[in-house]
Structure 1
Amino acid sequence: MSEDVRGDLRWGSVAELVRDAAERYAEREAVVDGRVRIDYAQLGERVERAAAACIAAGVEAGDRVAVWAPNTLEWIVCALGAVSAGAVLVPLNTRFKGAEAAYVLRRSRARLLFVTGTFLGTSYVASLRRAAAEGPGTGPLPGLEHLEQVVVLAEDAPASFRTWKDFLAGGGRVPAEAVRARAAAIRPDAPSDIIFTSGTTGSPKGAVITHAQTLRCYDVWSELAGLREGDRYLIVNPFFHTFGYKAGIIACLTRGATMVPQPVFDVDTVLANVAAERISVLPGPPTLHQSLLDHAHRDHHDLSALRLVVTGAAVVPLRLVERLRGELRIATVLTAYGLSEASGIVTMCRRGDPAEVIAETSGRPVPGTEVRIADPEGAPLPAGRAGEVWVRGHHVMRGYFEDPAETARAITPDGWLRTGDVGVLDADGNLRITDRIKDMFIVGGFNAYPAEIEQLLGLHPDIADVAVVGVPDPRLGEVGKAYAVRRPGATVTADDLIAWSRREMANYKVPREVEFVGELPRNAGGKVLKRELRAR
């Protein structure tokens, strides 16, 4: 098959992508997880065994199968196994509490759940039992009546739950021909996953994405990023997030890159992994790369294999791009913008773009898609004018899972997705996200966009991280309050930062209050939890 055929036309389903990678890159290292190292042929065998076990457990095409676990080899195998059996993957946020996980399991009517044992001192099984112990169901969690089986990704499991080993053994009675027939029957337009939104604006909603969309989008992502066979990719972005699962696992499968999953972001572990595993690709939020650059013992580690960084999800300071290129000599530093409802990818910078474009914009629309800046009535605005970002193309979700009313609110009759983000297109078509519509505040009649103010405050030499929210003001209606993290050893005061701001930005943008904190609250995707800051 021609190498330049579109991803969705080339593979058709995630199951076929896995099979093709297992053949094409058979002896190349596929996953490194602690002391375990497997090649692509072995990964293909493990995924097929997991798919057989899903079939043996009664999973039918279109059933929802959830995974609630950190980045590990088992996550990769059980997720790809479920999808290869025709199931629709529902990844659960590892930061969820039991009730939050139960909500998504109930909302998606998942029939099967893979769950980690204990992670970061928390028993996920125990938290689920507390949240769903009572109800009409007859399965392991009566409060979740559709959930028939729970598989614990560990050697031990409570009564009525299954161990990973026992689950896999159950697939032994399913013939290989039946597994391959199930995979071959998957249509490109069938749902491959439901990514539940982070819930920063209310109850999570599930964005339904198809096999074709996943394959086309992340073949394009890999091409634009320059991912290639033999790359070694440290996947710190959580697998439950599109950035981790699709720009991580799926992208690596398309190119034959080695996946090195890291369960928790810890800068010492990142440095050790980059050096020991000769990591060449390190996507992640800007805070990851900032922490790497500022680490006191960075020079004790050999980071010379790093060649590709893709970032986004937050403000990207120009100085960060320049330092990654200059101090770490990383050849390719790119920024991108996406959201779950658009398969996680809308715009992306291109290799060769100047540092200013990479830092100040999220690049141009990916091939086959459109971006429009719209006024409140939906009319398109010219370059340079701020408005809501609307997107249209092959990447836009089929809709929110079983929620036609919310789907109709999000997608116009002619296919435009209203993102809820505020942005500006420049004359070259580069998109600059200025904020979420809901985060904008009005200072004496002027629209103030926190992301723009944060970008400016981030230029202060003593500020490592910053977030701005609007707070009530009796005279101006609202004013900005900054939550700032000082650089190590810095002594800048609130008065210092406010005085500096008055010199560097328009008066209505200047924060009237500054509170210094040890770190900003973030979700696992790297987004600052503004609602937590507003509640303080």
Structure 2
Amino acid sequence: MTPPSRTPSAALFHDLVPEALRRGWAAEGHCPDLDLYALFRAHRIAAPHATAVIDAAGEVSYAELDDRARCLAAGLAAHGVRPGDVVGVALPNGRDAVTADLALAALGAVVLPFPVGRGRREARSLLGRSGARAVIALAGHRGAEPARELAALAAVPGELPELRTVVAAGPGPAPALCLSLAELLHTDATAFTPARPGPDTAARILVSSGSEAEPKMVAYSHNALAGGRGNGLASLLRPGTPPRCLFLVPLASAFGSAGTAVTLARHGGTLVLLDRFTPGAALDALRAHRPTHVLGVPTMVRMMLDRLADEPAPPAAPTALILGGAALDAATREEARRAFGCAVVNLYGSADGVNCHGDLDECAAAEGIPDAGPGIVVGRPDPGVCDIRIAPLPGGNSPTAGAACGEAGEILARGPMTPLCYVGAPELNMRYRTAGGWVRTGDLGMLDATGALRVIGRLKDIVIRGGANISPAEVEGQLASHPDVREVLCVGVPDPLMGERLAACVVPRPGRAPELAGLCAHLDARGLERRKHPEHVLLVTDGLPLTPAGKPDRAALRARAAAAVQAEQVRAG
């Protein structure tokens, strides 16, 4: 049987940024202009015995990790994986996930990582829409058999027509129709020669848990990852000290793209990895491995703060906590700064192509200083990462005609980290990219008089109550300072009269039970106009639900709040 022809990678990964701009950023030194495996290999040669990965199984040196990656690359090549092929990877944080990243970079293939826990339907969608030729997945996970299920799908005509190879990871023999990752890791790689893909060609597809019916896939080049995203971490490093990064988020998430490509390949540091987050395991890792940087989402740090309250002493202070994925309120930021004794970085970024935060000095200078301005200050845009413009609302078709200083509008970004394009979705390229390659973030923000970016909220999350717009992020920022509130998200719930009303989903502090009247009195005292006050409160005592990428799941909360309000109305008659 003759295999189907492959989709040309040039067609799948069309760069929407003008080539002259890409080359200009490289010439200015914003990008290393090398592929990811070549960058990693240089660190392996310079310091072969340095620790690359620390996971549940122990430590792995740069030389050991490189040997594993070359063996896997040779094994995958023997089974038909070629430069430009898309290969899915659904593995937990650990050496196998990092090995897969490097092996695929060495092959010149394009890695499509997605967090373990994505459902079968979503995995099928991602692999099918990307034209993936192979996938590496767990043999078993929480009662499911992901590798076997994907192999069975690939065997059904028309289901995943491009998928030819399924690799199963985990103990025991590989399921039927699957290759064994353990066996591939023992391939003889003596004759293997790494590919040398162009630095502006596709290296990785980031999966965005956005508002589309299916997750968005965003293609990034070697330069955009090691250069643009790498520069974002560079501003948070102490001179002469390689980063030692504890990742609390999945490496397969967009936030996790700062793992293999940035921490290892760009900066020659060490990855400290937990295969599963718990607050206790995270604090144990801080004590045992003394990371310089901890990367997570605010919810994770709040859970760690609650756990610290029951422990005799905090761990040794890292250089910084880097928190993204959701808005970081001032109360949590100050509490974390005191508890961990380090700078707390409010990272604004997304898979779609934007990143902004303060450097270590700016973050330290801002600690404890109250801010009465709109939204949340996230720092000044770094041209080595991306420039930011504010497009007036409505419209904003021309980024060169930006909003005036202090005027709110849609945040647009373009720079060395800008992705190539959306994958398999030309309609998203039309919707979210401009003719000059700017990324439309869908976020509402403004540049203040100091040049700092203030993020006000998501345009799509705006709640329209009786024709008036309410930004949930603005209300959340004020409610987070209430002494009874540990965490809060605000969502709109349907209402027959007003269209929508605002509901506050509150995780209370231990032993507290905040009520609507008290929360609204707090907002009055903070000066928030009453039309923006929540009209319903949902106490979430089991913690906010999270997506597989570790972000708060607004859709799940919206459904839960709507059901609670409806039940309350039924009881009231």
Fold in common (TM above 0.5):
yes
Are the aligned partners of 2:51 and 2:62 in contact in 1 as well (CA < 8 Å)? yes
Q: Post-superposition shift, 1:338?
A: 1.4
Partner residue of 1:513?
Answer: 536
Match of 2:395, SS state, is: coil
Q: Partners in 2 of 1:168 and 1:437 — Cα distance? A: 46
Matches within 5 A, 1:179-328: 179-180=193-194, 182=195, 185-226=196-237, 229-247=241-259, 250-296=262-308, 299-300=311-312, 303-328=315-340
Deviates more, 1:4-13 or 1:147-156: 4-13
2:215 alignment partner AA: P
Partner residue of 1:530?
Answer: 554
Are the aligned partners of 2:36 and 2:261 in contact in 1 as well (CA < 8 Å)? no
Are the aligned partners of 1:200 and 1:529 in contact in 2 as well (CA < 8 Å)? no
Partner residue of 1:152?
Answer: 168
Q: Partners in 1 of 2:548 and 2:446 — Cα distance? A: 27
1:532 alignment partner AA: A
Deviation per CA, 1:449-478: give whole Å up to 9, x if none. Answer: 001111111010111111111234455443
Q: Partners in 1 of 2:276 and 2:261 — Cα distance? A: 17
Structure 2 counterpart of 1:329, from 341, 348, 354: 341
Q: Post-superposition shift, 1:209?
A: 0.8
Partner residue of 1:90?
Answer: 112
Instruction: Normalising by structure 2, report the TM-score.
Output: 0.85
Matches within 5 A, 1:485-496: 485-496=507-518
Instruction: Normalising by structure 1, report the TM-score.
Output: 0.90
Partner residue of 1:350?
Answer: 359
1:456 alignment partner AA: Q
2:135 alignment partner AA: L
Q: Post-superposition shift, 1:30?
A: 1.1
Partner residue of 1:481?
Answer: 503
Q: Post-superposition shift, 1:148?
A: 1.1
1:165 alignment partner AA: A
Q: Partners in 2 of 1:24 and 1:462 — Cα distance? A: 52
Q: Partners in 2 of 1:444 and 1:502 — Cα distance? A: 21
Cα 1:259–1:328, aligned 2, differ >3 Å: closer, same or farther? same
Matching of residue 135 in structure 1 with residue 161 in structure 2: no
Select the structure with the greater relative contact order (CA < 8 A; seq sep ≥ 6). Answer: 2
Are the aligned partners of 2:356 and 2:381 in contact in 1 as well (CA < 8 Å)? yes
Are the aligned partners of 2:151 and 2:178 in contact in 1 as well (CA < 8 Å)? no
Matches within 5 A, 1:69-148: 69-128=91-150, 132=153, 135-136=156-157, 143-148=159-164
Match of 1:325, SS state, is: helix
Are the aligned partners of 2:298 and 2:328 in contact in 1 as well (CA < 8 Å)? yes
Deviates more, 1:385-394 or 1:440-449: 440-449
The count of aligned residue pairs is 518
Partner residue of 1:165?
Answer: 182
Cα 1:480–1:532, aligned 2, differ >3 Å: closer, same or farther? same
Matches within 5 A, 1:343-382: 345-353=354-362, 354-355=366-367, 356=369, 360-368=376-384, 369-374=386-391, 375-378=393-396, 379-382=401-404
Are the aligned partners of 1:8 and 1:188 in contact in 2 as well (CA < 8 Å)? no
Q: Post-superposition shift, 1:326?
A: 2.3
Q: Post-superposition shift, 1:47?
A: 1.6
Q: Post-superposition shift, 1:6?
A: 7.2
Are the aligned partners of 1:444 and 1:508 in contact in 2 as well (CA < 8 Å)? no
Partner residue of 1:13?
Answer: 35
Q: Partners in 2 of 1:67 and 1:325 — Cα distance? A: 35
2:167 alignment partner AA: V
Q: Post-superposition shift, 1:370?
A: 1.9
Cα 1:6–1:291, aligned 2, differ >3 Å: closer, same or farther? farther
Matching of residue 422 in structure 1 with residue 434 in structure 2: no
Cα 1:189–1:329, aligned 2, differ >3 Å: closer, same or farther? same
Are the aligned partners of 2:259 and 2:271 in contact in 1 as well (CA < 8 Å)? no
Cα 1:404–1:133, aligned 2, differ >3 Å: closer, same or farther? closer
Q: Partners in 2 of 1:232 and 1:299 — Cα distance? A: 24
Match of 1:429, SS state, is: coil
Q: Partners in 1 of 2:268 and 2:411 — Cα distance? A: 34
Q: Post-superposition shift, 1:489?
A: 1.3
Deviation per CA, 1:337-386: give whole Å up to 9, x if none. Answer: 112121xx421112222125999312121224321111222152122222
Deviates more, 1:197-206 or 1:512-521: 197-206
2:472 alignment partner AA: P
Q: Partners in 2 of 1:240 and 1:489 — Cα distance? A: 36
Q: Post-superposition shift, 1:168?
A: 2.8
Q: Partners in 2 of 1:315 and 1:329 — Cα distance? A: 21
Identity of counterpart residues, as a percentage? 30
Cα 1:27–1:302, aligned 2, differ >3 Å: closer, same or farther? farther
Partner residue of 1:140?
Answer: none
Q: Partners in 1 of 2:435 and 2:522 — Cα distance? A: 48
Deviates more, 1:119-128 or 1:366-375: 119-128
Partner residue of 2:9?
Answer: none
Q: Post-superposition shift, 1:311?
A: 1.0
Deviates more, 1:349-358 or 1:447-456: 349-358
Are the aligned partners of 1:207 and 1:399 in contact in 2 as well (CA < 8 Å)? yes
Are the aligned partners of 1:292 and 1:298 in contact in 2 as well (CA < 8 Å)? no
Deviates more, 1:14-23 or 1:302-311: 302-311
1:168 alignment partner AA: L
Match of 2:450, SS state, is: coil
Q: Post-superposition shift, 1:124?
A: 2.1
Q: Partners in 2 of 1:506 and 1:357 — Cα distance? A: 19
2:182 alignment partner AA: K
Deviates more, 1:207-216 or 1:485-494: 485-494
Q: Post-superposition shift, 1:493?
A: 2.5
Q: Which runs of 5+ in 1 are unaligned?
A: 138-142
Cα 1:265–1:398, aligned 2, differ >3 Å: closer, same or farther? same
Q: Partners in 2 of 1:263 and 1:364 — Cα distance? A: 34
Are the aligned partners of 2:463 and 2:469 in contact in 1 as well (CA < 8 Å)? yes
Partner residue of 2:564?
Answer: none
